A and B are shown apart, each in its own frame.
Chain A
Amino acid sequence: MSKNLSALSAKKGLKDGLFERFAELSGANGTVGQEELKGLAQEYLIGSANTYGTVSFYDFLNPGNKKIYICNGSACMMSGKQVFLQKEISDHFREDEIGEVSCLGRCYENGAYQYENKNYSGGTFQDKAENNADGGYTVSGKGAVILTSGFSDITSYYESLVKWLKEDPVRLLKEIKKSGLRGRGGAGFPVGLKLETCHNQKSEEKYLVCNADEGDPGAYTDRYILERQPHALIYGMIVGAFVAGAGMGIIYIRAEYPEACAVVEKVLSDLRNEGVLGVNILGSSFSFDIKLIRAAGSYVCGEETALLNSIEGQRPEVRVRPPYPAIEGLFGKPTLVNNVETLASLKYIVENGGSAFANTGTKTSTGTKLICLDSFFNHPGVFEVEMGTPLAVVVYELGGGFRTKVKALHIGGPLGGIVPVHKIDSLHVDFESFKDQGFLLGHGSIVSIPDSFPMIKYLSHLFEFTAKESCGKCFPCRLGSQRGYELLEKAQHEGLDIDHILFDDLLDTLEKGSLCALGGGLPLPVKNALNYFGEELSPYFKESGI
């Protein structure tokens, strides 16, 4: 992060955001030309090293940009469908035109790819006209309904907000604090605390950023909200902005979700027309608008400080903390960064009060949680359950159990824990239950690892994913993820017996040394696998038992 680049980008502001200019100029080639990079550098008073450095970071902007992207996310990979898809696509494209993308959020049917800015899944390349309808997942739940309720019309949906916007935001803040709501992006940080910090900052300019860069392979709960419950999100954003004192909001949606972008763009426009966004919204004296920013293909942008750098047009490398974004965030101004599901939960609190929310779920994990299941379940889909619900209810009752033999569940994204099926009965959907048993609820995605899929290959996949998506800033993650991937590949294909002390050292280095949760989080599933699947893995290591 460069303070200078941040300040120079701030001079142009969001209206003429550098990051979006890259996307605009990338045009048909999918990448920005050298002359255009120089021109942008001159216009923004920065170096062409900066413009080049930034575009080269993103899958969809860099000079090696592709024509078609095949999903290699964990769920698609294990479904076995991608091999056939790859083969079919190779008949239509040159090798250098085919790229990979890690998860398009079509985990419930797989066979996913992106072509000409549209996502397809569940079929072949040939029949793409039919297979992008995307209706193929169940939405249901058990217990309180907070995130999956219906929508009637704009006026009645936002009506409950009107009176609050005329009151002291501190009253709303109190309710939110009372609710015990914790961030749904993975870290579970108390939302009220973050809001309060941002609220307390004295600054004429503040921002609210919705982190809709749902990059976890296997996760599509945010996609569900963006596409099917966009008003819940925007309602929450208005609440968050009002309490924090932000005049401008941003929804940063990953480019892998073109449909979500289209839905949200339309909703924003409708809301502006209805006076729900803009100047003096809903007849109050509070003015707030939202800008949709479409990302450009990079997992690490889901890390909040990388995301802020991305919006500023800088290389989305992770920033050091402190300063925390709530104090010094976008363009150096106080910024509230929250996940989609978190923000979408606020409406319930506004309408029913903090206590009502706190009474749902468990004492320390309040409210409900969306869980999404992949295609190995009999009923793949998005399920809303109260926090504290037994995991078995989700897996067997709602998900209908497995279609095939599954040995483990990877829950909570690539950095979540690998839960062997025998542990399903001992887990509940809440932060504490997972943490206490050495796993992570994370963002609530569940990816099944079938019996047939070698665990060593899965671990290699996790290291490869991290190596590919690492921002490259901190030494442990940049180097360690690559070296770990190489060790696991050599063990599988070159007969290397991995030195278990070296491997432990590597995991220790990643866990303790990494700057952010990407490198720091990778060891958790790997350790779970070593712990629960030691026997399966032992042939690849020098000493048995690992």
Chain B
Amino acid sequence: MSREAFINGQQVKFTPGETILEVVRKHIGKDYIPTLCDAPNLEPFGSCRVCSVEVSADLEGKAKRVVAACHTPMQENTFVYTHSQSINKLRKNIIELVLTDHPLDCLTCEANGNCELQQVAATVGIREVRYPEGKNHLDVPKDNSHPYMTSDLSKCINCARCVRACDEVQGQFVLSMAGRGFDSRIIKGADTNFSESDCVSCGACAQACPTSAISDVFQSKAVKPGKKVRTVCTYCGVGCNLDVAVNGNEVLSIQAPYDAEVNAGHTCLKGRYAFRFYNHPDRIKTPLIRKNGNLEAVDWEEAYAFIADKLHAIKATYGPDAIAGISSSRCTNEENYLMQKFIRAVVGTNNIDGCARVCHSPTALGMQRVYGTGAATNSIADIKHTDCMLIVGANPTAAHPVTGARLKQAAMQGKMMIVIDPRQTELAKYATYHLQLRPGTNVAVLNMLFYYIIKHGLEDKEFIEQRTAGYNEFRKDILALDVFALERISGVSATLAEKAAMAYATAPNAMSFHGLGVTEHSQGTFAVMQIANLAMITGNIGRKGVGVNPLRGQNNVQGAADMGVQPHQGAGYMDVTDPQVKQMYESVYGVSLPGHIGYKIPEMYDAALEGKLKGMWIIGEDVVQTDPNSQRVRAALGRLDLLVVQELFMTETAREATVVLPGSSFLEKSGTFTNGERRVQRVNQVISPLPGTKPDGLILAEMMNIMGYQQAKYEPADVLNEIAQIVPFFRGISWERLGENGKQWPVGGDGVDTKILHSETFKSGRAKFFFKEFKESSELTDNAAEYPFILTTNRELQHYNCGAMTRRTKNIELLAEDYLLMNAQDAERLHVEQGNWVELESARGKVKVRAKISAHVKPGIVSTTFHFPEIMINNITSDVHDTEASCPEYKVVAVKVNIPN
């Protein structure tokens, strides 16, 4: 449907709906028409008028009209003049007016050299400001109230890019204009400062600002980097691309590239601002060995030799199965691959596991059981194409902020959203239906949804018939349920469940997202299987805007599992007990491999406590702080003969180590991360590893050689090639082919990637229906009488996991402690006031935490986070695990609330 028009006489083709500015940029050049209020990720606004052009319906240019190119659609056979004399004059005159209310202190301005106003002023050729001095905004005070965000609104040109970024990109509405006419000005909150406002520090406004009116403490506008390196964020499974400005070995600032498919110019406060941990004085800069009870600095040779001796000795005395490894989902695919190879091929055991065990192992298992593949079926960008978003047990605006912002944007625009969550999350406020269930009753609520879908005959019979198995029995079991009993169990009214079920089932395209609120339960895997079944019963599989989309927690948790960081499957999810598979691995690794399944993480602690496990190697995972029942974890680690910990900081786990090896952060290494939508993306080294530290992959490769295995010198691209040989869905991946935006697996030999899984068929042929009944967690049946509250744990936006990195940035000034959310009714009954210390006691122990009275939790429910070792909430979490995948039940802990004297 292409049409034709003329730009300065040149004939161009365009698609109806494209603006004149878009057409000019496409055909003539990006900066050909100067602009100020336009920004790549914002809607056309039409305020600066600098992009004005003349348009005429005939060649002679009769009846020329002046229009703003940014918001005027190109019309067929229009003649556009972008640089006529009168247009050049208009632009110059507009900029002159702007400069009448601008400080003109360019040489001392933060944005000097990076300022769009400066560039445009130069382009249009301003030489003087002819107006006499008049009213202005030059004395507006600066705002330095915030740990990250800064403003100097004397530099503001009122283009509202910041306001629009806060609205259209983040959806936070912190910024607005106030007043009108000449007096209009940017405000934060109800005319307060950044610190007092509801700012979430995403920095979208600072990135959007064309001058230095809004910037940050890193003076991002001032940055003239030696170079800019594009890499991938380490802070969650969204996988935001980051442009890191660097000078020598110093990271100056981080911006989000507009052309990134994943994050399109947006990122969150962790990705953009929380990078100063990388050279924090607390970084471990030398290997340490425990000598006489103390960890003492040693050199690498000594550390390697010590570890090799110990590992040989354990292996000789107790066999390879007395050794286990926990790999890190913060590390690259290449490093994870090497870690499992090290444990399997060099140590000789399948005792390898990763943090997925404690987060999304039920997702991988549940989805594998139902579909044959344990990964997100679709892409985050599909939010654009869906009609209904079902969000179960996830708080994306805090834990996956960029995805959270997209979901929030869609919900604000009126798209159907159903939230199933015990807490009133931010998204729940925007949702059409919020099913605020009692923690631990996902299975009951999801069964209610099935009940009403079937009762109203809203199944997709054709899809069920053609692509699934086990439906008839499933249907019978569902219809036999007593929904009102489920209503009593879950606290979710049957009417509400019915409405939600109908909304999901009748949407042309419905998409589900789930998080740890689904998996971290005794019935976690079953709930995942239900979510997968929900998509099947409604035919929401295999096209844009549908599917099942787990929000993976750590940046490379998908990759770690893909690389074989699990005790039952090697790289590429192949069964280690299958003789053919074993043979294949053996042929690549060149050694014989064990043929029995190894320990999962909780089993490692059991084995250690029983004296069967003697050595452990843990990379970048603070299991003491983040695994449940910390005392027990600590006790288990204490029984080991050797605990090697590869870490950046002296975490609670590193403190228990026999040997500590200083690893490197994501900024200091190359490799690949795989995000939650199966997108394998290149991580590019930004700076050299801090002196004394080594990239984790290098440590592993060196150690493998010292242990007597011939592992080639560590080169991430070479390791990636080896992975591509083994892992079928990596077949077409190579460092070069990944390009800037990565590829979503499976990637065929021809390099073509896959945005949507199961579009034609399932890996397992037909997807299977499984009926599961709700079963109360033993944590409650055993302990509820004595411990009447349910504690459910979650995440805060400002911190990441154990907080080892984020607590060592200014994020600590934004949130300095874990706190306990408590409903006002409970607070009143217990005489707890805002900010009071309370003691939480479970069958495992006690912790003290400060209370925050909140309507976000129902009476009887309390909720907190585990980011701070000062609180150590996992001292009281339980040993109950998902019956199938052994994922701990962090989300349901029976507690009582004691009031300390």
> Does B bind A?
yes
A285 within 8 Å of B (CB atoms): no
* Contact in complex: A506, B93 (CB < 8 Å): yes
Known: A49-B173, A476-B97. Is A483-B43 also a contact (CB below 8 A)? no
Closest A residue to B73 using CB positions = A322
Chain B residues, Cβ within 8 Å of A499: 130
* Contact in complex: B412, A7 (CB < 8 Å): yes
The B122-181 residues at the A interface (CB cut-off 8 A) are: 130-132, 134-135, 157-158, 160, 164, 166-168, 171-181
Among A5, A47, A467, find the residue whose CB has the most chain B CB atoms closer than 10 A.
A47
Closest B residue to A34 using CB positions = B190
Total number of B residues with any Cβ neighbor in A under 8 Å: 63
Total number of A residues with any Cβ neighbor in B under 8 Å: 61
Partner of A52, one of B90, B98, B176: B176
Partner of B180, one of A37, A45, A57: A57
Chain B residues, Cβ within 8 Å of A62: 179
Chain B residues, Cβ within 8 Å of A148: none
Bitwise, B42-63 to A at CB < 8 A (1) or not (0) is 0111111110100000000000
A467 to B183, CA, bound (A): 9
B188 within 8 Å of A (CB atoms): yes
Among A3, A317, A475, find the residue whose CB has the most chain B CB atoms closer than 10 A.
A475
A56 to B49, CA, bound (A): 25
Known: A320-B45, A482-B182. Is A47-B158 also a contact (CB below 8 A)? no
* Contact in complex: B413, A512 (CB < 8 Å): no
A469 to B182, CA, bound (A): 9
B94 within 8 Å of A (CB atoms): yes
Chain A residues, Cβ within 8 Å of B197: 49
Bitwise, A361-381 to B at CB < 8 A (1) or not (0) is 000000000000000000000
A481 within 8 Å of B (CB atoms): yes
Rounded to whole Å, the gap between the CB of A57 and the closest CB of chain B is: 5
A10 to B414, CA, bound (A): 9
Chain B residues, Cβ within 8 Å of A468: 181
B219 within 8 Å of A (CB atoms): no
A4 to B182, CA, bound (A): 26
B461 within 8 Å of A (CB atoms): no
Chain A residues, Cβ within 8 Å of B174: 47, 49
Rounded to whole Å, the gap between the CB of B784 and the closest CB of chain A is: 34
Closest A residue to B67 using CB positions = A512
A38 to B429, CA, bound (A): 16
Bitwise, A72-114 to B at CB < 8 A (1) or not (0) is 0000000000000000000000000000000000000000000
Known: A47-B189, A49-B197, A515-B47. Is A479-B430 also a contact (CB below 8 A)? no
A483 to B177, CA, bound (A): 21
Partner of A513, one of B36, B90, B134, B430: B90
* Contact in complex: B183, A472 (CB < 8 Å): yes
Closest B residue to A10 using CB positions = B414
* Contact in complex: A50, B173 (CB < 8 Å): yes
A338 to B191, CA, bound (A): 36
Closest B residue to A38 using CB positions = B190
* Contact in complex: A52, B183 (CB < 8 Å): no
* Contact in complex: B94, A481 (CB < 8 Å): no
A496 within 8 Å of B (CB atoms): yes
Closest B residue to A468 using CB positions = B181
Rounded to whole Å, the gap between the CB of B186 and the closest CB of chain A is: 9
* Contact in complex: A478, B172 (CB < 8 Å): no
* Contact in complex: B181, A53 (CB < 8 Å): no
B282 within 8 Å of A (CB atoms): no
The B48-95 residues at the A interface (CB cut-off 8 A) are: 48-50, 52, 66, 68, 71, 73, 86, 89-90, 93-94
Partner of A47, one of B46, B164, B176: B176
Chain A residues, Cβ within 8 Å of B130: 499, 502
Among B86, B97, B188, find the residue whose CB has the most chain A CB atoms closer than 10 A.
B97
* Contact in complex: A513, B182 (CB < 8 Å): no
Chain B residues, Cβ within 8 Å of A515: 46-47, 49, 68
Among B166, B167, B181, find the residue whose CB has the most chain A CB atoms closer than 10 A.
B181
* Contact in complex: A472, B98 (CB < 8 Å): no
Known: A49-B197, A322-B73, A472-B180. Is A7-B100 also a contact (CB below 8 A)? no
A499 to B36, CA, bound (A): 28
Rounded to whole Å, the gap between the CB of A435 and the closest CB of chain B is: 14
A479 to B157, CA, bound (A): 10
* Contact in complex: A45, B429 (CB < 8 Å): yes
A317 to B98, CA, bound (A): 19
Q: DSSP class of A's interface residues: helix, strand, loop or mixed?
A: helix
A10 to B177, CA, bound (A): 21
Rounded to whole Å, the gap between the CB of B545 and the closest CB of chain A is: 19
Partner of A481, one of B43, B176, B181, B190: B181
A474 within 8 Å of B (CB atoms): yes
Rounded to whole Å, the gap between the CB of B81 and the closest CB of chain A is: 13
Known: A3-B43, A7-B412, A49-B197. Is A472-B182 also a contact (CB below 8 A)? yes
A196 to B98, CA, bound (A): 41
Closest B residue to A502 using CB positions = B130
* Contact in complex: B181, A478 (CB < 8 Å): yes
Known: A47-B189, A52-B191, A467-B181. Is A475-B97 also a contact (CB below 8 A)? yes
B184 within 8 Å of A (CB atoms): yes
Partner of A512, one of B43, B90, B177: B90
A317 to B159, CA, bound (A): 13
* Contact in complex: B414, A475 (CB < 8 Å): no
Chain A residues, Cβ within 8 Å of B430: 45
Rounded to whole Å, the gap between the CB of B424 and the closest CB of chain A is: 12
B833 within 8 Å of A (CB atoms): no
Bitwise, B92-135 to A at CB < 8 A (1) or not (0) is 01101110110000000000000000000000000000111011
Closest B residue to A477 using CB positions = B181
A470 within 8 Å of B (CB atoms): yes
Rounded to whole Å, the gap between the CB of A419 and the closest CB of chain B is: 26
Known: A5-B167, A47-B198. Is A505-B47 also a contact (CB below 8 A)? no
Rounded to whole Å, the gap between the CB of A489 and the closest CB of chain B is: 9
A487 to B157, CA, bound (A): 21
A50 to B66, CA, bound (A): 32
Chain A residues, Cβ within 8 Å of B96: 505
Chain B residues, Cβ within 8 Å of A2: 164, 167-168
* Contact in complex: B413, A3 (CB < 8 Å): yes
A478 to B49, CA, bound (A): 12
Bitwise, A27-50 to B at CB < 8 A (1) or not (0) is 000000010011001000111111
* Contact in complex: A469, B181 (CB < 8 Å): yes
* Contact in complex: A52, B413 (CB < 8 Å): no
A47 to B166, CA, bound (A): 10
Chain B residues, Cβ within 8 Å of A472: 158, 177, 179-184
Closest B residue to A62 using CB positions = B179
Rounded to whole Å, the gap between the CB of A525 and the closest CB of chain B is: 19
A57 to B178, CA, bound (A): 7
* Contact in complex: A475, B98 (CB < 8 Å): yes
A327 within 8 Å of B (CB atoms): no
The A484-520 residues at the B interface (CB cut-off 8 A) are: 486-487, 490, 496, 499, 502, 505-506, 508-509, 512-515
B523 within 8 Å of A (CB atoms): no
The A233-271 residues at the B interface (CB cut-off 8 A) are: none
Partner of B176, one of A45, A49, A479, A483: A49
Chain A residues, Cβ within 8 Å of B164: 2
Chain B residues, Cβ within 8 Å of A53: 176-178, 187
B409 within 8 Å of A (CB atoms): yes
4 A-B pairs with the lowest CB-CB distances in the bound complex, closest first: A47-B173, A53-B176, A472-B184, A49-B176
Q: List 29 A-B contacts (CB under 8 A).
A: A3-B413, A4-B171, A4-B409, A7-B412, A41-B173, A45-B412, A47-B189, A49-B178, A52-B191, A53-B178, A315-B177, A467-B181, A470-B180, A472-B183, A474-B49, A475-B94, A475-B158, A476-B94, A478-B182, A479-B97, A481-B181, A483-B97, A483-B131, A483-B134, A486-B135, A512-B66, A513-B49, A514-B49, A515-B47
New A-B pairs, 18, CB < 8 Å, besides A50-B176, A482-B181, A512-B86 = A3-B43, A4-B173, A4-B409, A11-B414, A47-B173, A49-B174, A322-B73, A473-B160, A475-B48, A475-B49, A479-B97, A479-B182, A486-B131, A486-B134, A490-B132, A496-B132, A508-B89, A515-B46
